[in-house]
Amino acid sequence: MGHFAAMVGVIFLLGLINLSAANRDTCDLYAAVGLSVTLPLDFDGLTNAHELKWFHNNTVVFHRKQNKLIVVKTGDISPMGSLQLKNLQFSDAGTYQADVLHPNNSIAKKWSGRLCVQGKVPKPQLTYICDFEFCTVNLNCIVTSPEGLVFSWTLGKKTLLNQTRQTWSISLSHLKGENVMCSVGNKVNRENSDVVRLTCKSPTWANLHCFTFKTMAAVLAGAGGLILLLLIIIIILCCHHKRAKTQMRLTNKVQLRMPSLNKQESGSISPDYETMHGTEDYLSPSPNECLLQQKGV
């Protein structure tokens, strides 16, 4: 039980240490080296009767009491008690505190905040390499001391919000000769690189190799559709040709059968006609035969 309590105590102390470190690293104000900054007390009711103290890391840097300057180590004071720091250096960073006291030493107003001083960001240099093996363009935003800096990229006229790393790769298939620019910044200033136009003159095999899956699928789909259309046209033409050929064959057959039918009809009618006429002659005797029959011959 004692070991468990000790462990809990250690964990609690570590948490307090981490929390205090996090609070120490939190900045309320940011300023650049060589520039000016105002620490805002903004006390409208400040008069000469008030006592005003400013502390930097628990050291008094300004003290005025009943309109008498007791300590003036740095900066100027505005009519509302704000502290104005000029030509900032890294040593000016830290925690600042202001106390305003009434003549009876009661608190009129308090202010505290942490000032972080950052250096000016240098201008970055943008370089790129065309990698035809992996079908990409590898870009690098070169800057000295990149730690703590924020990177951003602009392609054409569009800022890419999801690209915040120092390096960036873009597919060759998406490359259309756009202008690219990288930017580097911190809390106090930002610098842009020169605009660079991406030009990757690749051999023919690289162009074919670097087609994206969607592009290849579109090409294959288009080719398949064209082949299917050609097959349909060929089938229609074949059917039409076959129908025309069948029609012609039937026409020729009919034309060939017509003379033979005419010949058969003429041949079958003539004998019958002769037979019928021959019978009539036999059944109808001549006048002489009738006279002989009457005489009994």
Six-digit token pair at 72? Answer: 């003036």
* pTM above threshold 0.85: no
SS3 state at 129: strand
- Per-residue pLDDT, averaged over 35-47, amounts to 94
Domain-ending residue, one of 77, 100, 118: 118
Which residues, in sequence order, are CB contacts of 241 under 8 Å at separation 6+?
none
Enter the tokens of residue 292: 């002989």
Q: Which two tokens stand for residue 52?
A: 């005003």
- Give the end of a domain, one of 210, 234, 257: 210
Contact criterion met (CB below 8 Å) for 133 and 202: no
More confident residue, 7 or 237: 237
- Count of CB atoms situated within 10 Å of the CB of 209: 13
Same domain (yes/no): 113, 29:
yes
Judgement on whether residues 178 and 217 belong to the same structural domain of the protein = no
* Residues of the domain holding 51: 25-118
* Distance from C-alpha of 133 to C-alpha of 267, rounded to nearest angstrom: 92
pLDDT band at 218 (very low <50, low <70, confident <90, very high): low
User: Comparing 29-43, 168-182, 191-205, which segment has the lowest mean pLDDT?
Assistant: 191-205
Judge if 131 and 164 occupy the same domain. Answer: yes
Look over the chain and give the mean of its residue pLDDT values, rounded to a whole number: 80
237 has a pLDDT exceeding 80: yes
76: number of Cβ within 10 Å: 13
Within a domain: 267: no
Alpha-carbon distance 72 to 62, whole Å? Answer: 5
CATH number, position 63? 2.60.40.10
67, 86, 118 - which closes a domain: 118
206 and 216 share one domain: no
Asked whether residue 87 is assigned to any structural domain, the reply reads yes
Do 198 and 132 share a structural domain? yes
Our CA angle for 143, 146, 147, nearest 5°, is 170
For residue 172, the 8-state DSSP code is: G
